[in-house]
Chains A and B, each alone.
Chain A
Amino acid sequence: MSQPLTYYDEMKNKGYSRRDFMKFATMMAAFMGLERSAVGQIAKSMASKPRVPVIWLHFQECTCCSESFIRSSHPIVADILLDQISLDYTETLMAASGFQAEEAMHNTMTKYKGEYILCVEGSVPVEADGVYCMIGGKTSMQILEEAAAGAKAVIAWGSCACNGCVQAAKPNPTAATPIHKLVKGKPIIKVPGCPPIGEVMAGVIVHLVAFDRIPQLDALGRPKAFYSKRVHDTCYRRPFFDAGLYVESFDDENAKKGYCLYKVGCKGPVTYNACGVTKWNGGTSFPIQSGHGCIGCSEENYWDNGRLYERASAFAGFGIEATADVVGGIALAATGAGVLGHAIMTNIRKKENIHMLEDEGRKEEKELDH
């Protein structure tokens, strides 16, 4: 068996020159905020490294994370699988089954001890000694323990692995437990969402591979790049919220105009995710754009944080958040009445502006008709 291909080999194979490669390393160093002297080091490490081995485990989950991952439009998943990582174990895609599958995982755990990335999709049930999730006759607790021991870092894919998601919703009958409560002493990157956006998942992988480091994480362990802004702050319908223009009921006149979905339960104001910017499925849309409120799927315990069609202000937590949220210079009040007041009091001017613009539009339309 010959030597594993390095990044430099990969680039050569794709027709890039040594010069291109050095340019790439320089750019990468600049991107990472490193001194020029570090360029050589990066180039060296990239020229001599095999594809990053990855073990991807599935526990209590629905496979939506794997499905989302293969939806990534940049890079496409075939390129990730063939060029960037060596996905040595994944129950969803791998050719081998049974003994051979387990053997493939053990080979990677032994050969690349301390080097492989462990991805975990799903939560771990700890009730009844873990018998609610068993693979190859072992419990998910046992498998996680073994696989985490030699991992360089752990990625917790999706809300199941980050916070237990749906099976951890009350009364959490199997004691579904997120990964960070079971694995200690390893860096853990939490990528919540049900599922996370495909391009965000690919982005996390590319960050690890290209920069050879863990992305900057926020206090909750999520990559800052994708989870530092609320859906509300990046929502294209935000001006309607500020103007107090809301959908009152699904499919009403305001829904047809694309007004704010806050009153029909949108959890965008309490949800940190990239949906408003990155959007979904190659930028096709995101829940709010398609007329349904955000359900808050990347937030901890979102299944128990109020019903889907209940206003965000009606459940606990929003008040605290709201005090920090300055809307149009006025602090958003924590109650529905407050929101109504806010709408009436502060946004008459904006509303008038919008109506004026609409009137102008109608006038121009008439002129065009003539």
Chain B
Amino acid sequence: MNKRIVVDPVTRIEGHLRIEAEIENGKIKDAYSSGTMVRLLEEILRNRDPRDAWAIVGRVCGVCTSVHSLTSVRSVEDALNITIPPNAELVRNIMYCTSFMHDHVVHFYHLHAMDWIDVVNALKADPQKTSALAQKISKWPKSSPGYFSDLQARIKKLVDSGQLGIFSNGYWGHPAYKLPPEVNLIGLAHYLEALEWQKEVVKVQAVFGGKNPHPNYLVGGMACAIGIDDVSGINAERLSLVKSILDEAKTFIEQVYIPDLMTIASYYKEWGSIGGGLGNFMVYGDLPWNGYRDASSYKFPPGVILNKDLSKLYEVDLRNDGDVQEFITHSWYEYKGGKDIGLHPWKGESKIKYTGPKPPFEHLDMSQAYSYLKTPRWQGHAMEVGPLARVLVGYARGREEFKDVVDRALKTLDIPVSALISTLGRTAARGFEASLVSQWALDFYYQLVDNIKKGDTRMANMDMFNPDTWPKKAIGVGHAEAPRGALAHWINIEDKKISNYQLVVPTTWNASPRDSKGQLSAYESALLGTPVADEKQPLEILRTVHSFDPCLACAVHLYDEHGNHINRVSVLEA
């Protein structure tokens, strides 16, 4: 018998996501992913100063904060043919690495861990055994029996108080939780430690960008001038602060995140054959070692993999009309050319049209439009983007750093490469990347210091900053690898203003509804076949969906042609 279950809200994500799934004989037979919030930022961008766009699109997402701003300044610099100074590239790279490490650690501990760790079960742990285990898997110093028993006492008081706060109503005791109490307790300890750690690592963004979330960027470079003989500039004190934070970040990733990931993964190896999904992967590439225009210098190499075939890589051309297109067959939008055509973002057009049921509702009608996300396709193919895609492309390109980290992990866990294309693999890939990026951040830091030492203190190229120097019309595209995957912004500039701005973001690739041919996107595809032990507690659905690290505010941001304005401000009576 088929049963339809609904998970809405999906929590521990950014934004508003709804999953509806049909269950047959304890497994998911069909799944639908729906984004249920829209802000229409692209309409707001129109007619604004292109130099201001980074600030507006930065507000697309406060979790993967900064990567949208980075992509935006790249798109404007592409349109106006601006080359930024090496120092600015390096500072952007260091800020990127910081946000990347922050994002992956926070995702693992605060957004994903409770799918694997049973918090209440941690109360049964023996602190002595926990300490012995912690010391076996890592040299991280916070591992004494007293440390774990104090924490246990603190959590016990919380549970005894009856006010569980963020842990209320979790699926505690669910049969799919497999960790021994001691591992649960270590995980819980590191949940709290990571909460403290994350506020430290982002200080790097505050040094260069003034604040985090939402640090400042600048078309042409960065605003943080180098003044090694001035207290206000980037000087030795500021650089030392950055260095010490990057050192600590690397230590935490090596001694806490990776050992926890590998330990937890070893209890959930069956998830190496669940949640594989599409098998198509796409990466635009990022972290230029020798300038953004030199794609061969990217630490994350670009490429496309089709049908799990790592032996053949395809190239992506973001400027080509037929490469990236967006469809709206199952989305709450209208195109002038009809519901079933695809449009390249430079020609991107959209008019919102909600045709779903009138809220409050129980179910969406999946034969019709059912999401505020559009459906992007690469040469007609559905694509998965994100950590797994990047790790596989790096691996398929034969990059030593990728091969090294992947092969080591596969050996430790004693699983084949094919097991990477799974829920477990996606979660593991995030860890592999964090580990690579923690070293690259330091490499970029040394490069920056070296460059300043050579006497280059330029931080911004202001030659084209004055709009009077711009051509009447210009188009550009900027791309980045956001923590959640391939991200690009397409901009059209006319008469010094934005005439069109389109974002195609990672979660749109992954979480979008099916296309006109009925091809599923990554979430829906990955959920097929996922076992669900208890329909009332669909923990397994959360595991697979969270393995993508959903970020919905990003995904839904399209604009409105502003039809009938039915403005009903309801005033609530208290």
Contacts and interface: CB of A to CB of B under 8 A. Distances in A.
Contacts of A139: 359-360
Q: How large is the interface on B (under 10, 10 to 19, 20 to 34, 35 or more residues)?
A: 35 or more
A281 B56 CA distance: 21
A122 to B, nearest CB: 9
B158 interface: yes
Contacts of B59: 62, 64, 165-166, 194
Given A128-B354, A131-B356, A194-B214, A183 B196 contact: no
A101 B61 contact: no
Residue of A62, A256, A309 contacting most chain B CB atoms (<10 Å) = A62
B43 A93 contact: no
Contact of A63 (B15, B39, B48): B15
For the complex, would chain B's binding face be called helix, strand, loop or mixed by DSSP majority? loop
B449 interface: no
Contact of B162 (A1, A63, A94, A177): A1
Nearest to A198: B199
A96 B171 contact: yes
Given A131-B354, A173-B562, A98 B61 contact: no
Interface in A107-136: 107, 125-136
Contacts of B167: 94-95
A25 interface: no
B562 A171 contact: yes
Nearest to B120: A95
Contact of A81 (B165, B171, B225, B359): B165
Contact of B161 (A5, A70, A91, A134): A5
A137 interface: yes
A92 B38 CA distance: 18
B2 interface: no
Q: How large is the interface on A (under 10, 10 to 19, 20 to 34, 35 or more residues)?
A: 35 or more
Given A67-B213, A292-B210, 13 more contacts: A62-B61, A64-B61, A90-B11, A91-B11, A96-B11, A132-B372, A135-B36, A138-B359, A177-B569, A186-B574, A257-B227, A291-B223, A307-B48
A282 B567 contact: no
B420 interface: no
A286 B10 CA distance: 34
Interface stretch (A26-34, A72-80, A311-319, A332-340): A72-80
Interface string A124-168: 011111111111111101101100110000000000000001110
B462 A134 contact: no
B468 interface: no
Contact of B565 (A66, A130, A175): A175
A256 B36 CA distance: 46
9 contacts: A62-B63, A67-B65, A86-B163, A96-B11, A98-B9, A101-B169, A173-B40, A256-B226, A290-B223
Contact of A171 (B43, B231, B574): B43
Given A94-B166, A137-B359, A167 B199 contact: no
Interface in A237-280: 237, 249-252, 255-258, 275, 280
Interface string B557-574: 001101001111111111
Contacts of B560: 173-174
Interface stretch (B251-259, B265-273, B452-460, B499-507): B452-460
Nearest to A264: B223
A308 interface: yes
A70 to B, nearest CB: 6
Contact of A64 (B62, B169, B207): B62
Nearest to A99: B536
Interface in A45-89: 50-51, 53, 58-68, 70-73, 76-78, 81-82, 85-88
B424 to A, nearest CB: 20
Interface string B504-534: 0000000000000000000000000000000
B184 to A, nearest CB: 13
B4 interface: no
Contacts of B358: 129, 131
Nearest to B228: A256
B7 interface: yes
B315 to A, nearest CB: 32
Given A2-B162, A128-B354, A148-B574, A285 B169 contact: no
Given A5-B157, A135-B36, A166-B56, A250 B41 contact: no
A290 B169 contact: no
B169 A104 contact: yes
A181 interface: yes
A60 B552 CA distance: 11
A97 interface: yes
A182 B569 contact: yes
Contact of B196 (A76, A92, A127, A176): A76
Given A98-B7, A182-B571, A237-B232, A60 B199 contact: no
Nearest to B35: A134
Given A63-B553, A133-B16, A148 B110 contact: no
B570 A251 contact: no
Nearest to A61: B553
Contact of B538 (A81, A98, A101, A292): A98
A182 B44 contact: no
Interface string B309-328: 00000000000000000000
